[in-house]
Chain A
């Protein structure tokens, strides 16, 4: 016999299927083939699975944090690279009576409840989790402010502390003061 691979036995003894029994490179390849929501759900299972999604560098096109004149219309939009689909996550407070139900929009609070992190603020928890596990080519903040609704004017810097560090607040305030409708990128 010229070649022998008896010592290279890599087959696990257990016959049970388990993704974590795969070699690292394979696990990451599987993660990279997952749909956005499936990868999100997987990342909420444990610290290890969260790290696994992060390490897999699942590339996603963009994440847009949309702040509206009405808090009820706040949302996160994720555009995936794989199929070019957009995933809309509502950040509306469920206590708001004027909240519109849209079956295509995913409830952000429900998603945040899946994340096992000690945080009272679901928006903060959700945005931090998304920004950690996925690698977005673009991170955008879209601020929509109807000029006619001056009496509904909202303090936009408040929700931004939920999403980002305090350091970017100054820039955001500057843009809001100058423009009624704003969309810009974070670096």
Chain B
């Protein structure tokens, strides 16, 4: 007990008063968690990086998901593609403990990739990254004509919307009729 105290007291003066923060940080061992997407490839992410995700942070802090449990059972995100999850993990690692910049130019330019990334980020509740993604999606149509916007974002015309609505109603009607018939059959 006394030796520990001595140790700490003797070590303290040796430390420079203007020690950088990074030198003091490794004193606390960082805990790591594991996540995997649709492709089952496991990604190791630090707790600090995962703080960006309100969903995962909530799991760790509220549900008491320990590091040991995390190692044995990685967080399964079956609804997220492996490459998209990799992008999210990279972003979280890059911005770990740093203030987020006003713009992020490393987001994918490809429409489908960006679409999947937005849905994944929305699901994982990563607020800052979601803001960048929404800006990026909005930028896709900057200065474009209405018809170009329609093509890029696949916006149906009023006639197409009406046709889809009619079809949905017809389908719902058929389903309801099918259920009634099944219920009547059960009653007999």
Show the binding face of A for B, using Cβ within 8 Å: 1-6, 8-12, 15-23, 26, 29-35, 37-38, 41-42, 44-49, 114, 116
Q: Which interface class (under 10, 10 to 19, 20 to 34, 35 or more) fits B? A: 35 or more
Q: Flag if A33 contacts B138 (CB, 8 Å).
A: yes
Q: Which of B18-26, B75-83, B178-186 contacts A (4 or more CB under 8 A)?
A: B75-83
Are A46 and B161 closer than 8 Å at their CB atoms?
A: yes
Provide the B75-100 mask, 1 if CB < 8 A to any CB of A, else 0.
11111110000000000000000000
For chain B, residues 40 to 85, give those with C-beta under 8 angstroms from any C-beta of chain A. Answer: 59, 65, 69, 73, 75-81
Residues in A neighbouring B32, C-beta threshold 8 A = none
In the complex, A162 Cα to B55 Cα: how many Å? 52
B142 at the interface (CB under 8 A from A): yes
Q: How far is the CA of A1 from the CA of B72 in the complex (A)?
A: 8
If the complex has contacts A5-B79, A17-B154, A29-B134, are A10 and B149 also in contact, measured as CB distance less than 8 A?
Answer: no
| Interface contact A18-B142, CB-CB below 8 Å | no
Q: Is the CB of B149 within 8 A of A33?
A: no
Whether B161 contacts A47 by the Cβ 8 Å rule is yes
Residue picked from B59, B69, B139, most chain A C-beta under 10 Å: B139
Q: Which residues of B contact A (CB under 8 A)?
A: 59, 65, 69, 73, 75-81, 111-112, 114-116, 118-119, 122-123, 130-131, 134-135, 137-139, 141-146, 149-150, 152-158, 161
Decide: A17 near B76, CB < 8 A? Known: A26-B122, A41-B146, A46-B161. Answer: no
Q: Whole-angstrom distance between the alpha carbons of A20 and B115 in the complex?
A: 11
Chain A: which residue is nearest B79 at the CB level? Answer: A9
- B155 and A15 within 8 A (CB): no
A114–B65 touching, CB < 8 Å? no
Top 10 nearest A-B pairs (CB, nearest first) are A33-B138, A18-B154, A19-B153, A17-B111, A17-B115, A9-B79, A29-B134, A41-B146, A34-B138, A45-B155
A6-B149 contact, Cβ under 8 Å, with A1-B73, A45-B155 = no
CB proximity of A1 to chain B, nearest CB, Å? 5
CB contact under 8 A between A11 and B153, given known A35-B142, A41-B145: no
Q: Which residues of B contact A32 (CB under 8 A)?
A: 134
Given contacts A5-B79, A17-B153, A38-B141, 10 further A-B contacts (CB under 8 A): A3-B76, A6-B78, A9-B78, A19-B153, A35-B142, A41-B144, A41-B146, A46-B157, A48-B156, A49-B155
Once the chains bind, are B161 and A1 in contact (CB under 8 Å)?
A: no
B161 touches A26 (CB 8 A): no
A48 engages B161 (CB within 8 Å)? yes
Q: Are A5 and B76 in contact (CB-based, < 8 A)?
A: yes
In the complex the two chains form, is B146's CB within 8 Å of A44's CB? yes
B159 (CB) vs chain A CBs: closest residue: A46
Contact A15 B112, beta carbon cutoff 8 Å: yes
CB contacts (< 8 Å) of A38 on chain B: these are: 138, 141-144, 149
Please judge, given known A-B contacts A2-B65, A19-B153, A20-B155, whether A11 and B80 are in contact too, CB under 8 Å.
yes
B73 touches A114 (CB 8 A): no
A2-B65, A10-B123, A38-B144 known; A46-B156 Cβ under 8 A: yes
Please determine whether B141 and A34 come into contact, CB atoms closer than 8 angstroms.
yes
Cα–Cα, bound, A41→B140 (Å) = 13
A66–B134 CA distance with the chains assembled, in angstroms = 34
